[in-house]
Chains A and B, each alone.
Chain A
Amino acid sequence: MASADNIHFYRVAGFLFGVALADGFSRAEGASLPGYAVIDRLLPSFVPFRAVPEEGEKPLFVADVAASAEPAVGTASREAVVLEETSNDMGRATLFADGDRYTVELTSRPGAAACVMTADRRFESVVISTDMADVFAGQTLSSMLRIACSQAVLPHGAVSIHASAVLCGGRAYLFTGRSGIGKSTHSSLWLRTVPGATLLNDDNPFLRIENGRAVAFGTPWSGKTPCYRNEKAPVAGLVRLRQASENRFVPKSDVEAFSVLLPGCSVIRKDRRLYDCLCDTLVEMSEMIPVGILECRPDADAVAVCRKGLGLPEEPCGACAGNAGDLD
């Protein structure tokens, strides 16, 4: 168990959580480094999200992280049932239901030791074992924390969504769609053609209902784009992208808006309680956020069509020269 003074706290979307590194981490570094030095090296994208708990504030969870090539704790038992399996550029993740706990195994590449996380069904008690010798140890740890956070926030009117998000005029605009559809491309077109537009997050912003408004938050998780901004803005548009030969915006409302929001959200689908929480939140958000589908080409006109569909003023073309984002 970690003692209180080696817990490192972070706040994402207003939610406090902690990470407690076992002694093995300092030893692996070859020296006892003070404060956040060890963890900052492991989790550089978390630095902007460091936090100090308020008096008496209870974190969502404190993840106990053990440095171990042979995960002693948490390996899924024989009775464990595979709930989900996903593969992406971060590696292969398998989610097991194991008695009253969840187990997630993450392998950064074939043959690598698995990083294992176990958590109770509420993601309040989280234990992560990771192989410190693995060069991807920090990345897998970051992914595990993303999974834990994204589930732990669901009962609190918040959700982690697979989207690219831009900030413009103090408002956030989110672009969703299946992998490879061109979310980042569309975002970068906004940065290039809309004066003042900046990237908030390129992969996993959080959405949260605050004072009757849907608000988007930057997070430590931004896919391949290092954009870890601890900032927030009210959401003024959420658009699902589809590739097409012509640019066209189709506004969606009510149940159709809900159906546009749902697919990009991170949830254990077979967990009835978490899924119900997500649906409740999205029902509210469907009425707060202008939602639409953008059939689009990867060109500047797609941005103009999208902005028009969301009821935004047209930007004069050419006024944006030299405003290219730093994504290329």
Chain B
Amino acid sequence: MKKMKTNPGLRLRTVGRRHMIVKVDDTRVNMTDVFTLNDTAAALWRHAETSCFTEETLAAWLSDEYGIGSDMALADVREILARWMEYGLVSEKDNEKD
């Protein structure tokens, strides 16, 4: 099970009725990414940022919180984590010094 964590310096913010994460791009000059999250993704993020997690622990939490089947929860979590990983919002914990 891969241990993961949300990347440092990222904060979930709520604007009106929407949620977002603002990420300064270190590689491209003057570029900033603003990611929009729906309510479920925002709740998942808030849970994820409290400690390190795995796909399985997040899925279990999602399954409990929203009363959905564990298979569906795991599929949803995998999909969203793949996207967060691609966007540089989360990373695997294993290879890091801390």
Contacts and interface: CB of A to CB of B under 8 A. Distances in A.
B24 A254 contact: no
Contact of B16 (A254, A259, A276): A254
A257 B15 contact: yes
B73 to A, nearest CB: 26
Interface of A: 84, 253-255, 257-259, 262-263, 269-270, 272, 275-276, 279-280, 283, 286-287
B9 to A, nearest CB: 5
Nearest to A262: B32
B11 A259 contact: no
Interface size bracket, B side: 10 to 19
B41 interface: no
B10 to A, nearest CB: 10
B71 to A, nearest CB: 31
Contact of A259 (B19, B30, B34): B34
B24 A286 contact: no
Contacts of B26: 270
A271 to B, nearest CB: 10
Contacts, number: 43
B11 A258 contact: no
B60 interface: no
Given A255-B34, A262-B32, A269-B32, A279 B17 contact: no
Nearest to A270: B24
Interface string B1-24: 000000001010111111110101
A286 B15 CA distance: 7
B63 interface: no
**7 nearest interchain CB pairs?**
A254-B16, A254-B18, A255-B20, A255-B18, A254-B15, A255-B36, A259-B34
Given A269-B24, A275-B24, 6 more contacts: A254-B15, A255-B16, A255-B18, A257-B15, A270-B24, A279-B11
Given A269-B32, A283-B15, A286-B15, A258 B20 contact: yes
B31 to A, nearest CB: 9
Contacts of A275: 22, 24
Nearest to B36: A255
Nearest to B8: A272
Interface in B23-70: 24, 26, 29-30, 32, 34, 36
A39 B62 CA distance: 63
Nearest to B34: A259
Contacts of A255: 15-16, 18-20, 34, 36
Contacts of B32: 262-263, 269
Given A255-B34, A255-B36, A262-B32, A279 B16 contact: no
12 contacts: A84-B29, A258-B20, A263-B30, A269-B30, A272-B9, A276-B11, A280-B13, A283-B13, A283-B15, A286-B15, A286-B16, A287-B15
A259 to B, nearest CB: 5
Contacts of B18: 254-255
A287 B24 contact: no
A99 B26 CA distance: 19
